[in-house]
Structure 1
Amino acid sequence: MNFLPLVLLTTALTLLTTTASASLILGTGTEALVGGDLTDPENDGLANSNVNYNAMFRSSIEPAFGNGESAFNVFDNILSSGNAKWCCDGGNVWVEADFGTNRYILDKFTLSSANDVPNRDSDQWSILGSNDGINYTSIYSYDVAGSSIWGATRFEVIQFSNADDYNVNTAYSIFRYQSTSVVSGNNHQLGEIEFFGTAAVNDSAVNVPEPTTLAIFALGLIGLASRRFKS
């Protein structure tokens, strides 16, 4: 009996039914958030105002906290309806956290669904890194047409980790969430984002020679200078 066609058919069916899975579902609601992320290590940022945060925020649309479900609400450490989420027109939309001169290797991040209308969840999104706000590199991408990472579950917190879900060893000062498609309809929404990382050593740092090395180097220069004066 020839088993090859059966094997090929089984493989094909497996590929057709495979769906993307996230690393770890942490639970639902504000209490499932990890907390203490890079944007607010002290967990003391104000919910409806850009106060006590450790990053500068920018977005393609609705750049504010509070203010009718604006973009920066994804950093307010709260999962709730109203101004605790970001809801906007769909299409190509993004929000980012800029840590200035500090660079981090992204160890993990969490994304959380908002309170209503699962069709507004993104089904095509990426986490990007940059050091100049112009050139961006994809760290993690999700693209499953018609399906989000949360399904119908609301306020669900999902964590993605370096080495398990993606691989990155480059440090960045800017991390961006960007969505280019939603499950269906014309609106995009997101509950919360948390970024966690390891601070990188300054790339421009120079190894300083030991004092003994400096002394020997100086004596060498003196000897070279004396030889030149004698010639």
Structure 2
Amino acid sequence: MQPTFADFSVTPARVSNCGATYEACHAASSHLAMSAGARVALDFEVDAGKQIGEATLKVTALVSKLGRSPGYAPVDLVVNQHVLARGLTVPGGGDLPQDNVFAVPGRLLRPGTNTLEIRTADDARSMLWLYRVTLDSVYERGRSERAMAAEAARDTVFAYTTERREPFTSSWTSGPRLLFHVDRGEQSLPAQLGWRGVDGAESAISFQSNMSDFHGHHRAADGTLAEFRGRISGRWAFPEGTEDTHVHRFGTEEGWGGDWHSSDELRLLVDDGSGPVERVTWRDQRGNSGVAGLRTGAGAPSDVTADATVVDVSDEYTAAGEIADHLLHASREKWLAGDAQAWVEFGFERPVALTSYTLTSADDFPQRDPRDWLLLGSTDGVRWTQLDSRSGEGFTERFEARAFRIGGTAAAPFTRYRLDITGNGGADEIQLSGVRFTGIGPVDFSGYYQRYDEGPIGYRGAALNVPESSADSAVEAERAAEAARLAEEAEQAARLAEELDRAARSLAEAARSMGRMAAWVRGR
């Protein structure tokens, strides 16, 4: 029997080996709400020739409250018109869905299409909140739940609207959006998440199993403590949802047996609107946990110009040797562009977070000096983030070096930077003698990882230089692989149907032959 599940905690519902139809129901943020007299029908397939002695049905549901009472919404479960349970009272009144497990006798199942119905009573006075339904052969118990968890774990970028309130008060106030992505490639959703920002603020939260909500606490940089909660507002497969953010991507190693061993890539993003983080802790729904303490370079900004190269330029005066490469060298040679607007792109092998930059005027013609410009950052050379904007600037001397600080303390690391000069002192050319960069070098981390029911091991990683386009390609490859798998399954099903059809024709021919033989025997 194929993994059979319907996951109503997302919209539209995720289903496998079944189709779902509803009556008197509506989709809520984390469940399917069934009113009085409602019906959910799941049509699922049992392989021809498959003998199932017993199946395990799990219905995860909760009855909504009636004021202060637990609520009332009895349920009937029906398999192929046979009543499996009548007047079942699912626990209600709480905030957690309940797992209700039933044995389905094999005699109720048949090869081909079967129908499971979940019906609420006509006299139900509150709603039945239906979260998930799974069905497996008793000998493959849990298979559908694992398949459902693997399917859900493909969407690992989460966004939540948040609220905070002071302890022992009743009023909630809106907070900034929380966006996060923690993925070691183990196809398991987070159960708990904690983080500390570089400003000293800390948060720790725990999630509903279907990721619809979280609850926890937040301590601000000044020590103010608040209760913290959120409701999901978006969920995507990486890299969707991470546009205009920086995802830390690490090549990792695990320490055990007295040595370090290569392990899978770790992707980390926690953005609560307050700036970069310096520590992330997590525990997933399988019980695995980890800690990553992030370190950037030597911990303080330094001159990183030596790591930069010129990767592109709008124009340069190559005939006179006045080229953009001179900008990164400590000399009095210059770059000259034959336009009143010009740009230069610089690249770093690994991501660098710039904190400031310095421009040095050239040897002559002050009218060629830049006055207006933008500094932009990118990880792929296609999508750019504005980091600084200047207007009406000037140089009072030749070979004057002026430093410009990049606003804010939370500049994200990039591998590409673009100086886009949009205005000068009135000449038809742009010139500069030097550009220098100050910033924080590539990020790495140190911590530990602990698999469920095992001891902790060392865990460390260094930043990878992975363009966003590569991530997009990885997602497309994954989707292509999934499409190929589905196509192969469809082809196998077609071959099985053809074989069954041939078998049926052969049996029919045999029956006709036996009929002719019987007529011959009767005639003698």
TM-score (norm 2): 0.27
> For 1:29-40, what aligned pairs fall within 5 Å after superposition?
37-40=303-306
On the 8 A contact 2:351/2:415 being kept in 1, the answer is yes
**2:389 counterpart of 1:135:** no
1:74-108 Cα offsets, whole Å, 9 max, x none, are 11111x2xxx10112123311122113x1111122
**Identity among equivalent pairs (%):** 27
Q: Name the SS for the 2:414 alignment partner.
A: coil
Mapping 1:59-78, distance limit 5 Å? 59-62=313-316, 68-78=321-331
Counting strand residues as a fraction of each chain, which structure ranks higher?
2
CA shift for structure 1 position 128: 1.2
Find the aligned partners of 2:344 and 2:317 in 1 and give their Cα distance.
Answer: 8
Q: Does 1:185 align with 2:427?
A: yes
Q: Tell me how far 1:207 sits from its aligned partner.
A: 7.1
Q: What do you get for the CA RMSD once the two structures are aligned?
A: 2.8
What amino acid does structure 2 have at the position aligned with 1:209? Y
Look up the SS of the partner of 1:73 in the other structure. Answer: helix
Q: Which residue of 1 aligns with 2:368?
A: 120
1:198 aligned to 431, 440, 459, which one?
440
SS in 1 for 2:367: helix
* 2:356 aligned with 1:88: no
Which one has a larger percent helix, Structure 1 or Structure 2? 1
Question: CA, structure 1 residues 67+38, in 2 after alignment: closer, same or farther (shift >3 Å)?
Answer: farther
Return the offset for 1:216: 7.2
Structure 2 counterpart of 1:158, from 389, 394, 402:
402
Contact 1:119 1:184 in 2 (8 A): yes
Of 99, 113, 118, the residue aligned with 2:348 is: 99
**Structure having greater relative contact order (Cα 8 Å, sep ≥ 6):** 1
Kindly provide the CA deviation profile for residues 8-27 of structure 1, in whole angstroms up to 9, marking residues without a partner as x.
xxxxxxxxxxxxxxxxxxxx
Maintained 8 Å contact 1:95/1:177: yes
Provide the residue aligned with 1:209 in structure 2.
Answer: 449
Return 5+ residue gaps in structure 2 as ranges. Answer: 1-301, 457-524
Are 2:355 and 2:411, in contact at CA under 8 Å, matched by a contact in 1?
no
Larger radius of gyration: 2
Letter in 1 for 2:430: H
Offset at residue 55 of structure 1 (A): 3.3
Relative to structure 1, the CA distance from residue 118 to residue 201 in structure 2 (aligned partners, 3 Å threshold; closer, same or farther) is: same
Which segments of structure 1 move beyond 4 Å, counting only runs of 4 or more?
205-208
Task: Report if aligned partners of 1:57, 1:72 keep a CA contact under 8 Å in 2.
Answer: no
Q: How many residues align?
A: 154
Contact 2:335/2:432 (8 A) holds in 1: yes
Q: Structure 1-normalised TM-score?
A: 0.58
**What amino acid is the match of 1:60?**
S
Aligned pairs for 1:50-65 within 5 A: 54-55=308-309, 57-62=311-316
Give the letter for the 1:93 counterpart.
Answer: A
CA distance in 2, matches of 1:63, 1:215: 64
Give secondary structure in 1 for the equivalent of 2:327: helix
- Structure 1 residues 195 and 121: CA distance shift in structure 2, 3 A: same
